[in-house]
Amino acid sequence: MEDTEKVPFGKLSPKDCYSTIFWAFYVILNLLNNKGD
């Protein structure tokens, strides 16, 4: 079952790639905001 969850990056659709980048960007922004406080 774990193999199906770990999909090679090459098989990810552009939509999945953008979602991952957006999620990472969102997390980084939250970390920066927390440091600002």
**C-alpha distances in Å from residue 1, one per residue of 7, 12, 30:** 11, 18, 32
Can you give the pTM of this predicted structure? 0.49
Amino acid at 12: L
Amino acid at 30: N
| Alpha helices (H) along 1-37 | 2-5, 14-36
* Digit-coded pLDDT (tens) for 1-37: 455 566 665 676 778 878 889 999 999 999 999 886 6
**C-alpha neighbours within 13 Å on the C-beta side of residue 6:** 3
Cα end-to-end span (Å), the chain: 42
